[in-house]
Amino acid sequence: MALRLLYLIFLRLVGLLVLLGRSSASKDAELLVLRHEVAVLRSKNPRPRLDWADRAVIAALVRLLPTGLRLHRLVTPGTILRWHRRLVAQSGPNDS
């Protein structure tokens, strides 16, 4: 499972390097396409199932967004806190 998290982090870092070389117009176009795709996916499956590695990556990336944008995402600060509480409850007091 840790290997999956490392793989996802590596993919995001490579994606960041690719973004640095692109123009603002192409980034804006990609954002519009991705927002439309997310809207379509939400209409077909309003409650996607994420595993722990997906949650870790999303939680890390959502912190980079300005506060105003965080509140309108699929993953809100309340969602992150709920994930954390669930993870702590599953690990139990004796797990280290």
List the chain pLDDT tens, one digit each, 96 residues: 688 888 888 988 888 888 788 788 877 777 777 777 777 777 777 676 777 777 777 777 777 766 666 666 666 667 777 877 887 777 655 554
The per-residue pLDDT for 44 is: 77
pLDDT value for 60? 74
Longest alpha-carbon distance in the chain = 52
Phi-psi region of 92 (alpha: psi -120 to 50; beta: other; left: phi over 0): left
- Cα angle value 67/21/7 (rounded, 5°): 70
Give me the pLDDT at residue 83, please: 77
What predicted TM-score, i.e. pTM, was given to this entire model?
0.43
Q: Is 95 left (phi over 0), alpha (psi -120 to 50) or beta?
A: beta
